[in-house]
Chains A and B, each alone.
Chain A
Amino acid sequence: ETGVTQTPRHLVMGMTNKKSLKCEQHLGHNAMYWYKQSAKKPLELMFVYNFKEQTENNSVPSRFSPECPNSSHLFLHLHTLQPEDSALYLCASSQDLRLAGAEQFFGPGTRLTVL
């Protein structure tokens, strides 16, 4: 595997389900991100982790719970979601938040549908 991978690519869940999105980066990076892209809206940053520590929570509802066990893996645990949470969820990574330059490498995304 190369780059940033995300699983599953598609997910349909009911409002009472609990599911998790997984992201893995094979780039040796230390910063990882979750973004949400809703229909006709720009990408919205949700969470940022640097060296496994959360550095940013962009006022995300608690029904989204991130987990970063190591610099290569990032999870987004989902529970009691709402239909308006249906969106494309993108994971990204970058070398290190402390370094200059802002290039982030994105995974292909998980298309989430909440029924």
Chain B
Amino acid sequence: DQQVKQNSPSLSVQEGRISILNCDYTNSMFDYFLWYKKYPAEGPTFLISISSIKDKNEDGRFTVFLNKSAKHLSLHIVPSQPGDSAVYFCAATPVQRGGSTLGRLYFGRGTQLTVWP
């Protein structure tokens, strides 16, 4: 059973507008969350992360929001640019005592974002 779900396989947004990508998870042991971006013929690249002790993390045009009670996180991109067109993966991991994740990232299926001019 999938523990990380991205229910929207695709999202289309006009350049300059906000893109909101959503992710839900089921495992209450997850306490570190990441977003990756993937262009065709390339591997995923890390974008932004958030620890469960926070509810928001911002990096330039990218902001991730975490709602632990709802087991939901979202990635906001504003303003959206055509170069943001890619597949976005949400990932989650439980953090062990001492801070290690043991490398166990659980990924969603991804959302294809298309930003049109």
Contacts and interface: CB of A to CB of B under 8 A. Distances in A.
Given A42-B2, A56-B102, A103 B43 contact: no
Contacts of A102: 32, 34, 49, 91, 93, 95, 101, 103, 105
B89 A43 contact: yes
B105 A108 contact: no
Nearest to A103: B46
A109 B43 contact: yes
B107 interface: yes
B97 to A, nearest CB: 11
Nearest to B3: A42
Interface string A92-115: 101001111111111111000000
A68 interface: no
A109 B45 CA distance: 12
Contacts of B34: 102-103
Contacts of A56: 102-104
Interface in B58-117: 89, 91, 93, 95, 98-110
A72 interface: no
Contacts of B101: 97, 100-102
A43 B4 CA distance: 11
Interface of A: 4, 31, 33, 40-43, 45, 48, 50, 55-56, 90, 92, 94, 97-109
Interface of B: 2, 4, 32, 34, 36, 41-46, 49, 89, 91, 93, 95, 98-110
10 contacts: A33-B103, A42-B108, A48-B102, A97-B102, A98-B99, A100-B95, A101-B101, A102-B103, A104-B103, A106-B43
